[in-house]
Every structure is written in structure tokens, then in C-alpha cells.
A and B are shown apart, each in its own frame.
Chain A
Amino acid sequence: MTSAVLSMTGVGKSFTLHHQSGTELPVLRDVDLQASAGECLVLDGPSGMGKSTLLKLAYGNYLASAGSIRVRDAGGQCLEVTEASARDLVRMRRDTVGYVSQFLRVIPRVAAIDVVAEPLAEGRASDRGAMQEAREKAAAWLERLRIPKRLWALPPDTFSGGEQQRINIARSLIKHRPLLLVDEPTASLDAANTRTVVELIQEAMSRGSAVLGIFHDQEVGEQVATRRIDMSRFRRSA
């Protein structure tokens, strides 16, 4: 029994490309790592080492080829991600695991403030009061991430890359979740916003979230890391 929020044991991932004569692309093998509450593990290694793949495995976005991935929810229940039903994974993402990707997947016609508020009102979309409360919280996040007020009511598809990224960060972090997976959250941000994102991650950690992150920016990585993971350990052909 472990108290880790995320626990990966013997995890491997390879891709089989059926239309490239069945080519096998080995990406990761023998991944063993545990992340506990309040920890931030920073994944180190050049691109192509499987850093994003590792996050996607923990999120259930990629299927593991081997091993076990266990995620513990706020109530202490563990879910074996590699065997979970789609329904369990939907619930895991709603309540337990947040994922900040590099790009915002735009939802047509939804205002920026609602894009951010949505995770808080999920499952209660018919409750006007809940949505109003969620919007108020979303407003505070937008303000903190310096999104000009005149943009709040607009759908973010016309926003700049940096603005979209901040909307995405707000949407992904607004709900407190025990595990956060962050993939280059500061890639297109200016210095002030980068500082804010570092603070947001540190606040999540002090609230007890475990964080697993990829940071291109060395300085950012150093500010948030409590432990560093050398990805070359998990390479099959290294």
C-alpha cells in the first residue's frame, strides 16, 4: 500500500503503426515513479524522450502497453488507469486529475469566461446558481492571468496564442484536483504571466496537489521542482 497520488510501476508504451508495415515505435519502458501530495516532479530530457507520452498515459489519453498506473482520489480510493472503464476515466478527470496541455482546444461559440467556469459547474449545468458562482470564480482567474475584461465574453478562438494558453491554464487549474499534469504551461507566456503560473502551481502544491510537469524553461522548472526525473532512464533503446 502506498500513499502516493500517482504510482506508475513497470509502465511501458510503444506504438504499433499498422499502416507503416506494422512498425513498432518503442517510447517508454520500465517507468517506475511515485508522486505524493505536495510534490512536483519535473520530467527532464530532450524532445522525443516520451515526456508528453508519460503525462498522457497518466491521464488515460494513451493506453499503456505494459505495467500499472494507479491514481488515488481525494477520498483515498485508487483507480487502476490501465484497466478503468471509459466512465471511470471521465470521472477521474472530472474530480481527480487535471491536465494542462500546450494548446487550447477551442469550443465554438463559448465565451472565454464560460470556458474557464465550465469545470466547476460540470454536472450542475442546469443549476443557474452554480453556474453564476462558477463565473465569479472564473472572473477572478481571468483577472489574475491578465486577460483583458473586454475579451471575457468572446469565444477564445480569435485570441492570441498566449491568451489562449492562459485561458487553458485557468480552465485546467480552477478546480482543485489531487493530481496535476502540466505540459509546457509557460511556452508562449511573457515574464509576468510566467511568474503567475509558477505561483499558481506552487499554490496547488501547498493545497496538497501532486504535480507532474514538463517545463521547457529551465528557470521555471527549478522554481517548482521538488524532484527531477531523468527521462533517459525510461528509454528502451538508450
Chain B
Amino acid sequence: MTREEPFSPLLRVRGMAKRYGGFTALHEASFDLWPGEVLAVVGESGSGKSTLLGTISARMAADGGTVEYRMRDGGLRDVHAMSQAEQRLLARTDWGFVHQNPADGLRMDVSAGANVGERLMGLGHRHYGQLRATAEEWLQRVEIDPIRIDDAPRTFSGGMRQRLQIARNLVTNPRLVFMDEPTSGLDVSVQARLLDMLRQLTQELELAVVIVTHDLAVARLLAHRMVVMQGGRIVEAGLTDQVLDDPQHSYTQLLVSSVLQP
């Protein structure tokens, strides 16, 4: 054993449910996520993927179920029972959230450096030189030339914006990152670069990740495990290559047979 085994999952989701009026968008979803584990949530649009991501990250209220998170002190806390201030602190420090559209996760008109430094400033870091040095280091890590540190993301390409959003999230060393279709707005060539970067960063930082994607190749490359959603339910779950290579549920079989070589 190369590293110490934690005794409990990082995130424990039980019976998560969400209704919009009379429509049930999410039926009692349950799963555990362990430190360093990457879980892909796949399914077509309207299957409840984003609702699942929204409720487990407490960005959306739930209509049933619990989400427990193991805090850095080891205690399990029900995320939906926290105060808003506590939720915000968690979301800005120990968690990250990468949006499909970088404009939703960035401040488009402030500099790249300030985008990266914001979470640190929220934690009380005030030393300008240090903040700038950290921002430069992170720009380099996500392959953005530090010469662009004073430019606003509005002047960046789509791929650069997405990489900046990732740097902005990772600067506080979160343990858990939620990602909503992080590659789907990008050109294929730009996607490959981002995917490879995500893969390396998740390994190096031992991040736990819940990534929503409709792209099975993305799931294959990044995720240890996956869950397949249809009509607001998790219809299949398992090891990523097992679900893709030997799908059991009829919907998963349809999904896998509908794409070219995932």
C-alpha cells in the first residue's frame, strides 16, 4: 500500500432528490466518493446529470436525501444543513466548481492574475507580491503564458479561459472539484490538451472529482468510476471500462453503441 487508506468516503450521497413542480428531475441518487477518486456522470441532456451535480455541491436546494462531506478535521458534515456562510467557505476553499462556460466561473473583466488570486484573498492573503507570484505559477501550470497575467479573460481564447477557470479553482488546493461538461464547448484539438491537463492535475493533486459529461471518451480517459443516468435515475454504476465494455442496462447499451469507439 503506497498511501494510507482513509476510513470513510470524502462524500456520501444518500437519496438525493429534486423536483421542479410536479416533475421529478432526480430520483433518490446515492453514491460514495473516496479521496482521489474521479467519478464521471454520463447520460443525455435532461437525464438529471446537472441537477445531480447542482444538489450534491449545494448550489441547488434538494427535496430529499443527504450529502455528507468529510471535513479536513475528519468529521462528516451534512452539507445541506450548513449555514450559507459555511457552504460558501467550503465552496471557496476545499471545493472547486468548473462550469461548462468559463464566463460563468470567471470574472471576465478583471485580470487573469486577479481571477486566480481571488480565492486566496478571500482567505485573507493580502501580500501583493506573493499573490502575484502564486498567480504566475498557476498560469504556468495551466499553460498560459504569464505575460498575459494583467489581461482580462475576455481577451482569451475558449481553451485559455477554461484553463484559467481551472487554475482559479485549484489555487486553494481543494480536495473535491465538481466539473460540468468542462470540455464540451471546445474544439477537439483544444479538448485533448485540456483533458490531458486535467488528468495530470487530478493525479498530482490527488483530487476527488465529480465530472458531468456526455462524452464517453472523456469518461474513459479521466474517470475511475462512472454512473449512467436516464430520466433522473442512476440506471448503472461501476468501473468505467466495465460499464463501457460490458454495459448491462439497455440504456447504457444504447449509449455505448451510439458513439464511435469511446
Contact = CB atoms under 8 A, between A and B. Distances in A.
Contacts, number: 67
A237 interface: no
A125 B204 contact: yes
Interface in A205-238: none
Interface in A89-123: 89-90, 95, 105, 107-110, 122-123
Contacts of B3: 123-124
A60 interface: yes
Contact of A110 (B196, B239, B250): B196
Contacts of A19: 250, 253-254, 257
Judged by DSSP, the binding face of A is loop
Nearest to A95: B1
A200 interface: no
Nearest to B2: A123
Interface residues of B, number: 33
A103 B86 CA distance: 49
Contact of B37 (A61, A87, A122): A87
Interface residues of A, number: 25
Given A86-B224, A123-B3, A18 B250 contact: yes
B206 A107 contact: no
Contact of A89 (B200, B239, B250, B253): B239
B140 interface: no
A56 interface: yes
A126 interface: yes
A17 interface: yes
Given A86-B224, A107-B221, A109-B196, A126 B205 contact: yes
A63 B195 contact: no
Interface string A129-146: 000000000000000000
Given A18-B253, A108-B195, A123-B3, A86 B246 contact: no
A62 interface: yes
B239 A60 contact: yes
Interface of A: 15-19, 56, 60-63, 86-87, 89-90, 95, 105, 107-110, 122-126
Given A62-B245, A95-B1, A125-B204, 6 more contacts: A16-B248, A60-B239, A86-B242, A89-B239, A108-B193, A124-B2
| For the complex of A and B, 3 pairs with smallest distance between CB atoms | A18-B250, A108-B192, A125-B203
Interface of B: 1-3, 34, 36-37, 192-193, 195-196, 199-200, 203-206, 220-221, 224-225, 237-239, 241-242, 245-246, 248-250, 253-254, 257
